[in-house]
Amino acid sequence: MAVEALTPRPSTAKEASPGRAWWIEPALTVVSYSAFVIYATWSVFDQINVTFYPYVSPFFSTWLGVGLIRIPIIAILLPILAVIPLGLRGSCYYYRKSYFRSFFWDPPACAIQELKRGTYRGETRFPWVLNNYHRYFLVLSLIVLVFLWVDVVRAFTYHGSFFIGLGSLIMLVNVILLSLYTLTCHSLRYLMGGRIDAFSRVRFGTIWHRIVRLLTWANTRHGLYAWISMFSVALTDVYVRLLMAGIIHEPRWIA
C-alpha cells in the first residue's frame, strides 16, 4: 500500500492562508484587549465613584458598607476587588488561546509552527502559574455577579417607585451578557459534571446530565460572550460617565 508523504506544517500564517488578510484578527485582538485593559485600569483607579442615581457602573458594583463609611471602603477595596474579573478573564481558556496567538504568536494559529521552541515550562512559573487558579476566580466572579444583579434591580427603582430609564436597560443587557460569559465557563462545566463517571449512578443524575448538556451546548459560544461582554462592560461605564458629566440626557419613565 502506498504511503503518502506528510505535508510539512506551514511555518508562517501567511503561508498557511495564502491570499487572505490573516493578520486582521490578531491585530484586532491586540488593539481591543489593550484598549479594554487601559480603559478599565483608568476607570478603576480614577478615584471617582461612577454612579448616577439609580445607576452604578459595573466597575463599581461592589457596593460594600453602610451609609457614610461606604465610600472609604470602596476606595480601599476597589483596586483589590478588580483582581477578580481581571483574574477570570486573564486566566480564561478562551482569552489564553486568543492572547497567546495574537500577542506572543506562540503559535499564531493551530496549523502554524511555533516561532521558536525554547524551554517549555507549562504553567509552572509566574505569571502563567496563576492560570491554574481559574476555578477560584470563577467562584469569586459568581459572587460578584450577584452584586451586579442587585445593582440592576436597584436601577429599576427610583426613590421607591418602579422606574425604567435607558440606563436601566443598558445595565440589564450588560449583566445578562456577563452572566452568559461566566456561566458558559469551561471550569463551571467541569465543576458541574466533570467528576461524574456515570450519571445513572448518582442521585439526581438525570438533572445533572441535563444541566451538563445545557452547559456543553452553551459553552461553544463562550468566545462570543467573552467578546461582547467585554465591550458591554466598558460601554455601560462610559454611559454612566456621560450622564454624570451632563453630556447626555436619557429618556426615563417613572411609575
Cell of 92: 480564561
Q: Which stretch binds ligand FES (CB under 6 A): 7-15, 34-42, 166-174, 180-188?
A: 180-188
Q: Using the rule CB under 6 A, is 187 a contact of ligand FES?
A: yes
- Residue 156 and residue 211 in contact, taking contact as beta carbons nearer than 8 Å: no
> Is there binding between residue 189 and ligand FES (CB under 6 A)?
no
**DSSP notation for the chain:** ---PPPPPPPSSHHHHSTTS-TTHHHHHHHHHHHHHHHHHHHHHTT----EETTEE-GGG----S-GGGHHHHHHHHHHHHTHHHHHHHHH-HHHHHHHHHHTS-SSSSTTSPPS------TT-STTGGGGGGHHHHHHHHHHHHHHHHHHHHHTTEETTEEEEEHHHHHHHHHHHHHHHHHHT-HHHHIIIIIT-S-GGGSTTHHHHHHHHHHHHHHHTTHHHHHHHHHHHHHHHHHHHHHHHTTS----EEE-
Residue 178 lies near ligand FES (rule: CB under 6 A):
no
Q: Which is nearer to ligand FES, 101 or 222 (CB)?
A: 222
CB of 99 to ligand FES, least distance (A): 12
Closest approach of ligand FES to the CB of residue 251, in Å: 34
Q: Is 224 in the site for ligand FES (CB under 6 A)?
A: no
- Give me the least distance between CB of 135 and ligand FES, in Å please: 8
The pattern of x and - marking residues 64 through 103 that bind ligand FES according to CB under 6 A reads: ------------------------x---xxx---------
Tell me which of 29, 51, 109, 186 binds ligand FES, using CB under 6 A.
186
Among residues 155 and 183, whose Cβ is nearest to ligand FES?
A: 183
Interactions with ligand FES, residue window 120-149 (CB under 6 A): 134, 138
Which segment (4-12, 111-119, 165-173, 182-190) binds ligand FES by CB under 6 A?
182-190
For β-strands 161-165 and 55-56, DSSP reports them as unpaired
Count of residues of this chain found to bind ligand FES when the rule CB under 6 A is applied: 10
Minimum CB distance to ligand FES, residue 106 (Å): 19
Q: Which residues bind ligand FES (CB under 6 A)?
A: 88, 92-94, 134, 138, 185-187, 222
